[in-house]
Amino acid sequence: MVEFIDVRTEDGVTRRSFSLGVAGEAVPAVLWAPQDASGPRPLVLMGHGGSQHKKTPGIRTRAAQYALRLGYATLAIDAPGHGDRITREEAESNMREVGARVTGRVAADWSPERLKAMAERMRKAVPEWKAALDAVQTLDFIGDAGPVGYWGVSMGTAIGVPFVAAEPRITCAVLGLAGLRPGAAEMEAAAKAITCPIEFVFQWEDAVAAREHGIALFNALGSKEKAMHINPGGHMEIPGFEGASWERFFKRHLTEGAKAGVLQAA
């Protein structure tokens, strides 16, 4: 049973905050839905990026738009070591550190220590996402019949790849801003196990994900329907039209259930 700590309605969208106990830790979660929502509806899970949190502007803006325009619910949780799971001082320090890396001011850190810490975070995050999904599917305004989509780029993809691979309730996902580095066997196996439609967004001058690693991750995805969208610019410079593309991707798969045909184009 989900107990809401805080419920607020603004401009037609209701935001409910709650906390999940997973493996002895409290995982803060937030759920957006249309005001007065009742009955089952599509659900999008949104995984934030490194140093960000569950209510980061990109997530809360899209969550409100999806509620208003598509009638969807959106769920976000704080990743291990992020958001309300750390102090404000730690969060600010992380933001400075990640900010320096993604803008290329500081070289990406692929030390064995950091890779180990990241792998541990992934393993912790997957059961947390599952527990969060279990919890909200008991709500009458979401239900357990699905469909469920996932959105997460950068760290949201590092966590999203093993999560989407392990979670059959997810029927489509937007991933990106991440790569498959040589020797990342766990990530590669997870990518290969993914079979749902994927839209993979990638920035061509990304200081933390090399072109060849981005292509390698796209190639590893086991999905029959997968599209890679490459745009110029850095990690924080995804063009606005890709946001519109994500919305249409979710609409196509979560509302319309469309099958991809083939164009008579060539």
**Positions in the binding site for its own copies (CB under 8 A):** 49, 52, 56-58, 61, 102, 153-154, 177, 201, 218, 224-233, 235-245, 248, 252, 258, 260-266
What is the C-alpha separation between 215 and 230, in angstroms, rounded?
10
Check residue 196 and report its DSSP letter. Answer: S
Cα distances (angstroms) measured from residue 48 to each of 33, 151, 175, 185, 216: 18, 9, 11, 23, 22
Report yes or no: 27 and 131 within 8 Å, Cβ to Cβ.
yes
CB of 247 to its own copies, least distance (A): 11
The structure tokens 């039209």 sit at 241
Which two structure tokens, joined as six digits, stand for 231?
A: 């745009």
- Angle formed at CA 86 by CA 132 and CA 107, multiple of 5 degrees: 100
Based on CB atoms, which residue is closest to its own copies, 2 or 193?
193
CB of 214 to its own copies, least distance (A): 11
CB of 253 to its own copies, least distance (A): 10
**β partners of residue 25:** 22
Residue partners of 179: CB distance under 8 A and separation at least 6 = 209, 210, 212, 213, 214, 216, 217
CB of 138 to its own copies, least distance (A): 30
Based on CB atoms, which residue is closest to its own copies, 97 or 225?
225
Based on CB atoms, which residue is closest to its own copies, 23 or 262?
262
CB of 213 to its own copies, least distance (A): 14
Based on CB atoms, which residue is closest to its own copies, 34 or 49?
49
CB of 57 to its own copies, least distance (A): 5
| CB crowding 10-46: b at 16 or more within 10 Å, else e | eeebbbbbbbbebeeeebbbbbbbbeebeebbbbbbb
DSSP helix/strand/coil, 213: helix
Based on CB atoms, which residue is closest to its own copies, 172 or 184?
172
Based on CB atoms, which residue is closest to its own copies, 104 or 239?
239
**Parallel, antiparallel, or unpaired: how do β-strands 13-22 and 4-10 relate?**
antiparallel
Based on CB atoms, which residue is closest to its own copies, 21 or 57?
57
CB of 162 to its own copies, least distance (A): 19
